[in-house]
């Protein structure tokens, strides 16, 4: 199974392709689609769409997962995020890829074990789960990886409690730094 996970945004859209190898998920490709702030919104949306179609054509994912819109205080930002989500979903639907949406809390809970986890905690756990040695350069990328892993966990029926911080600390006591 190959999964394309997307963390949408009009300036930075993170994407990640993961696949199943010998019963565990491995990283195939991840990156961020960057748009100059000087570009108009329609030009940015076209770039997101075209870039995701290229990724889809290259990797032929079986499933597409995307984070739902976060409703913040800035209505304009939320509307723009909705546009980025729309063209991302359209890229998948036009290629007839089953599409699933996950809330930010659901993604964090699936990967970290806590729905209120920080982006840095998500990055750490994603790198641990996928055995990534060099941290991805952008939190948008690790968020996209988390979305893909969340979908994998959901499809495979994996429980998320075994990946909580508490469980990780219990399994790895030598990696814990205690500050006095």
What are the residue ranges spanned by the domains of the chain?
A: 2-175
Q: Concatenated DSSP letters for 65-102? A: EEEPPP--S-HHHHHHHHHHHHHHHHHHHHTT--EEEE
Q: Write down the pLDDT at residue 142.
A: 94
pLDDT for the residue numbered 159: 53
CA distance 28 to 33: 16
pLDDT number for residue 60:
97
3: nearest Cα among 130, 155, 164, 141: 155
Between residues 57 and 164, the one the model is more confident about: 57
With a cut of 50, say whether residue 161 has pLDDT above it: no
> 34 phi and psi, to 5 degrees?
-105, 135
For the record, the structure tokens of 1 come out as 């199974």
Confirm whether 57 is a catalytic residue.
no
**Bridge-based pairing state of the strands 24-34 and 12-21:** antiparallel
Q: 31, 63, 140, 143: which is the annotated catalytic residue? A: 140
Q: With contact defined as beta carbons under 8 Å apart, do 147 and 65 qualify? A: yes
Q: What is the pLDDT of residues 22-70, one digit of tens each?
A: 878 899 999 999 999 999 999 999 999 999 999 999 999 999 999 987 6
What is the end-to-end Cα distance of the chain in Å, rounded? 46
Domain 2-175 = CATH 3.40.50.12710: no
> pTM for the complete prediction?
0.83
- CA 43 from centre of chain: 23
Confidence label for 164 from pLDDT (cuts 50, 70 and 90)? low
For this structure, is 21 an active site residue?
no
Catalytic residue among 31, 63, 67, 143: 67
Please report which confidence band the pLDDT of residue 136 belongs to, taking 50, 70 and 90 as the band edges: confident
| Whether 7 is catalytic | yes
39 burial type by CB count under 10 A (0-12 exposed, 13-18 middle, 19+ buried): middle
Which is catalytic among the residues 7, 31, 63, 143? 7
* pLDDT tens, residue by residue, 74-127: 777 788 888 999 999 999 999 999 999 999 999 999 898 888 888 899 999 999
Among the listed residues 70, 98, 104, 68, the one whose alpha carbon sits nearest the alpha carbon of residue 86: 68
């Amino acid at each position: 199974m190959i999964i394309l996970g997307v963390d949408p945004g009009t300036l930075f859209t993170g994407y990640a392709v993961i696949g199943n190898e010998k019963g565990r998920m491995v990283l195939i490709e991840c990156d961020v689609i960057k748009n100059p702030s000087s570009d108009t919104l329609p030009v940015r949306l076209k770039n997101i769409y075209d870039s995701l179609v290229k990724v889809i054509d290259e990797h032929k994912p079986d499933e597409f997962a995307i984070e739902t819109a976060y409703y913040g205080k800035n209505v304009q930002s939320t509307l723009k995020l909705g546009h980025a989500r729309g063209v991302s979903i359209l890229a998948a639907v036009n290629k007839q890829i089953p599409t699933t949406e996950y809330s930010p809390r659901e993604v964090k809970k699936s990967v970290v074990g806590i729905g209120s986890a920080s982006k840095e905690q998500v990055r750490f756990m994603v790198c641990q789960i996928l055995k990534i040695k060099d941290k991805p350069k952008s939190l948008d990328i690790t968020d996209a990886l988390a979305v893909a892993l969340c979908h994998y966990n959901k499809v495979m029926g994996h429980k998320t409690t075994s990946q909580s911080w508490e469980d990780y600390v219990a399994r790895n006591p030598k990696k814990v730094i205690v500050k006095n």
